Amino acid sequence: MSETSAEAEIQLSANPLLKAWQTPLETPPFAEIKPEHFLPAFEQAFADHSAEVAAITHDPALPDFDNTVTALERSGKLLSKVSAVFYDLVSAHSSPAILEIDKEVSPRMARHWNPIMMNAVLFGRIAMLHEKRASLGLTGEQMRLLERTYTRFHRSGAGLDDAAKARMAEINERLAHLGTSFSHHLLGDEQEWSMELGEGDRAGLSDTFVAAAKAAADERGMGGKAIVTLSRSSVEPFLQSSSRRDLREKVYKAFTARGDNGNANDNNATIVEILRLREETAKILGFPTYAAYRLEDSMAKTPEAVRGLLERVWKPARARALADRDALQALITEEGGNFTLAAWDWRYYAEKLRQAKANFDDSAIKPYLVLDHMIEAAFDCATRLFGVTFEERKDVPVWHPDVRVWEVKGRDGQHKALFYGDYFARPSKRSGAWMTSLRDQQKLDGDVAPLVINVCNFAKGADGAPALLSPDDARTLFHEFGHGLHGMLSDVTYPSLSGTSVFTDFVELPSQLYEHWQERPEVLQRFARHYQTGEALPDDLLKRFLAARKFNQGFATVEFVSSALVDLEFHTQPAAASWDVRAFEQKELEKIGMPAEISLRHRPTQFGHIFSGDHYASGYYSYMWSEVMDADAFGAFEEAGDIFDPATAKRLHDDIYSSGGSRDPEEAYVAFRGREPEPDALLRRRGLLETPEAA
């Protein structure tokens, strides 16, 4: 062995990503992992995985389930391990060094997977098994795994000719680069902008908001100041409460212009190229549009089905929003305002109108929605529904001092999972809220317990004060915890079917369904306590909060559905139609009659769901598709007369939360509910079945 290769061997053996982790429950030793460890670890992981796949491909034995499908499930363990740690840091605690590595890793990852997913010999083995699947004596889960494995390879182009495969490989690599660039640009715009709040700039802002603004300044090394950032948890309460119209306009325009500023972070050209390459992918695979390709492998199946649902919701939502707009304009006039309602005014005047009509505003309830208490509430609901318990662990390594960890035990008292909560906004974290994992549950070679993560961007309390949540923040916490439970309660054998490995338009069911418990009186009466006095949420305020929930639903539904419709149009119309992204956006909004006073929830240049990767491309509608199910599903508990009814909770656990992707989602839903979902449940929940006047 040469001196150089000996040094390389020593470096690899010292790399914490390549060693067995001597940590509690074999968790990642974050303090030991440095940016320079990732590229060598990825190279080793790519090599190991390629060798494992080559062994399966060239196995001289006739293909059977074990030597082909199960062997594939066992392959790539090191790659999964390294990737999980790396992408957690990219999203939740990045650094310039990590982001540079990400630029290198993302196309390299595509270059690794392309020859695997397009391997004709390997696909031949899988196809042979798929063809005779009925005679293989497989369990239900094995049959599902074989079907999903065959579909995944087929849809990746494994059956194409060599020229088409070569082009697909080029496209995949380029798309990986573009998705990474899109997210880096968005993070760059968010990091570079803040607005300082001088003493004269704080009119209408609550003490808790100002405290959070000071904490945000501290986080950015601007001690002694108070700032608004482009985190949604900073922007939305500012727009809702600031009486300075000029500052509302400034913040709103900065927020909606992310990725669209003509600077180094501009995403317009990136979007144009992504759409062109996605269209080419669809054509190579024999589909008329990218949406048709993506939706074939979903519950919805077709763009027409998606459009049908969205338009069914759009009409009553738009009617409600227009009625609300007129009411807001009347309020402005009544107050002597000599201006027309603009998009940066909506939240401010909607809050005033809600105070007048429902005698409720978010700032009244926020002191009762303490982050720690809402975490306890989410845990308590899970305990009452599913028998799991949570105990905080201080000995598990984390990637940032703010991250907390809990051990999750099952009804039998045995270890079930670890749950990581990373709740606060910081410059190193991308915006939004999400669930992911450092390790997925499986039982292929012994019980493997999952390591599940929730990441949010809540505003931190200043000077040691507790963090207070808006009702929307509290709902987000329960939403992400619902995803978390989907991962933690998973009880399947094969890693590819674990936890949230389900159709995109089914994956939001467990999360959105869990939101229902957050706003129930039984939960709020127990856990909503004033952060200073410990006083329980007064009955009168609780009643006003519950009564006000359907207020402004026209606005909320319009900003979401319009985003979902624009996503669908981007991926059903020819890519050439969107060469000018702003013009395309405007044309589509005019076509649907978008109220000028409401903007998309995600304008294209900041629409990370569909452009940072392809997971939600043509699939942003999924939240609404799932909401049809979640509104209907919670009805099962209401019909039982107990939101913690044990029999209903057991069906929910067995058929939805623990089954992962091991069952067809429609079959899983019907098993839980006893029937298919009733579509109007969504409109009823949002209060959109009544006429605008009745609301």
Give me the active site residues, please: 480
What is d(CA 129, CA 144) in angstroms, rounded to the nearest whole number? Answer: 13
- Using alpha carbons, select from 165, 43, 58, 53 the residue that is nearest to residue 104: 43
What is d(CA 51, CA 189) in angstroms, rounded to the nearest whole number? Answer: 41
At 360, the amino acid letter reads: F
Tokens of 172: 């995949």
What is d(CA 663, CA 201) in angstroms, rounded to the nearest whole number? Answer: 55
CA angle 269, 274, 275 (to 5 degrees): 100
Asked if residue 281 lies in contact with residue 168, where contact means CB atoms within 8 angstroms, the answer is yes
DSSP state of 38: H
Tokens of 13: 């053996």
At 94, the amino acid letter reads: S
How many other C-beta atoms lie within 10 A of the C-beta of residue 201?
A: 16
3-state secondary structure string, 393-454? Answer: ECCCCCCCCCCEEEEEECCCCCEEEEEEEEEECCCCCCCCCEEEEEECCECECECECCEEEE
Asked if residue 380 lies in contact with residue 400, where contact means CB atoms within 8 angstroms, the answer is no
Tokens of 15: 């790399």
- Using alpha carbons, select from 384, 347, 72, 2 the residue that is nearest to residue 204: 347
How many other C-beta atoms lie within 10 A of the C-beta of residue 9?
A: 11
DSSP H/E element including 87: helix 77-92
How many Å separate Cα 612 from the centre of its chain?
12
Q: Is 203 helix (H, G, I), strand (E, B) or coil?
A: coil
How many Å separate Cα 589 from the centre of its chain?
25
Neighbouring C-alpha atoms within 13 Å toward the C-beta of 450: 30
Residue 418 φ then ψ, to 5°: -115, 140
Parallel, antiparallel, or unpaired: how do β-strands 415-424 and 451-458 relate? Answer: parallel
Strands of 194-239 (E only): list them: 195-196, 227-228
Stated length of the chain? 695
What is d(CA 258, CA 73) in angstroms, rounded to the nearest whole number? Answer: 40
Query: C-alpha distances in angstroms, 204 versus 200, 468, 595?
Result: 11, 18, 27
How many Å separate Cα 402 from the centre of its chain?
20
Query: C-alpha distances in angstroms, 7 versus 1, 4, 44, 52?
Result: 10, 5, 15, 26
DSSP H/E element including 392: strand 389-393
In our burial notation (b when 16+ CB lie closer than 10 A, e otherwise), range 354-370 reads bbeebebbbbebbbbbb
What is d(CA 8, CA 505) in angstroms, rounded to the nearest whole number? Answer: 46
Parallel, antiparallel, or unpaired: how do β-strands 195-196 and 227-228 relate? Answer: antiparallel
At 102, the amino acid letter reads: D
DSSP sequence for 178-198: HHHHHHHHHHHHHHH--EE--
Asked if residue 443 lies in contact with residue 490, where contact means CB atoms within 8 angstroms, the answer is no
